[in-house]
């Protein structure tokens, strides 16, 4: 059986439980499902964010995510992957991104989810603009995110 892969870039919200169920329903070959859901922080989260606006390059974004999903599937024995990334205006408390990885064993599912999230955070063709009380500004790359992604580079 070929491992199912779902990649969606969408403006609408998603239901995390529904996506997990869609990947794992009636599957007896899965022993672990790992999820990461990124949520927009607000002022209570230590940031003064009123909203995020995410833009992407249609077609290219899906192809690049697929390329990294293919790499994750080559590196770890995965039984399935779902990646959903939203675009448009997102307010505090709303979903931004979901990564679901399924494997026979937890180690592969955890590693693949981290690998995919590190890629999405640092290199996926998305641009993020924050709006706060001081105005709007594009979010720059952060050194700690780049360092996390660098650990996956094969030498």
For the cut 60, the answer to whether the pLDDT of residue 45 exceeds it is no
Q: What is the pLDDT of residue 134?
A: 79
Is 155 among the domain residues? no
Look at residue 128 and tell me if it is in a domain.
yes
Residue 39 lies in a domain: yes
Structural domain includes residue 124: yes
21 within some domain: yes
Question: pLDDT tens across 14-44, in order?
Answer: 999 999 999 999 999 999 999 999 999 877 6
Give me the pLDDT at residue 136, please.
84
Please report which confidence band the pLDDT of residue 154 belongs to, taking 50, 70 and 90 as the band edges: low
CB atoms within 10 A of CB 63: 11
| Per-residue confidence band for 124, with pLDDT thresholds at 50, 70 and 90 | confident
C-alpha to C-alpha distance for 68 and 58, rounded to whole angstroms: 16
In a domain, 28, yes or no: yes
91: alpha, beta or left? (left if phi > 0; alpha if psi -120 to 50): beta
- Contact in structure between 3 and 62 (CB atoms under 8 Å): no
C-alpha Rg value of the chain to the nearest Å: 16
Report the run of H or E that residue 52 belongs to, with start and end.
strand 49-56
72-87 pLDDT, tens digit per residue, is 999 999 999 999 999 9
We report the CATH number of the domain holding residue 93 as 3.90.1170.40
Structural domain harbouring 78 = 5-150
Higher pLDDT, 132 or 104: 104
Q: Is residue 117 part of a domain?
A: yes
Q: Would 107 be classed as within a structural domain?
A: yes
* Count of domains observed in the chain: 1
CB half-sphere exposure, 152, CA atoms < 13 A = 21
Return mean pLDDT, the chain.
89
């Amino acid at each position: 059986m070929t491992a199912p892969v779902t990649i969606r870039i969408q403006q609408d919200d998603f239901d995390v439980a529904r996506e997990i169920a869609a990947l794992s329903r009636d599957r007896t070959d899965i022993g672990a499902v790992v999820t990461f859901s990124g949520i927009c922080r607000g002022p209570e989260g230590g940031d003064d964010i009123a909203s995020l606006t995410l833009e992407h390059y249609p077609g290219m974004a899906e192809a690049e995510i697929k390329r990294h999903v293919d790499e994750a599937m080559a590196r770890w024995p995965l039984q399935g992957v779902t990646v959903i990334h939203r675009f448009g205006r997102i307010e505090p408390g709303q979903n931004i991104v979901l990564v679901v990885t399924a494997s026979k064993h937890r180690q592969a599912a955890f590693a693949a989810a981290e690998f995919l999230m590190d890629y999405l955070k640092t290199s996926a063709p998305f641009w993020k603009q924050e709006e706060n009380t001081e105005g709007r500004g594009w979010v720059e790359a952060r050194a700690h995110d780049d360092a996390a992604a660098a650990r996956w580079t094969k030498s």
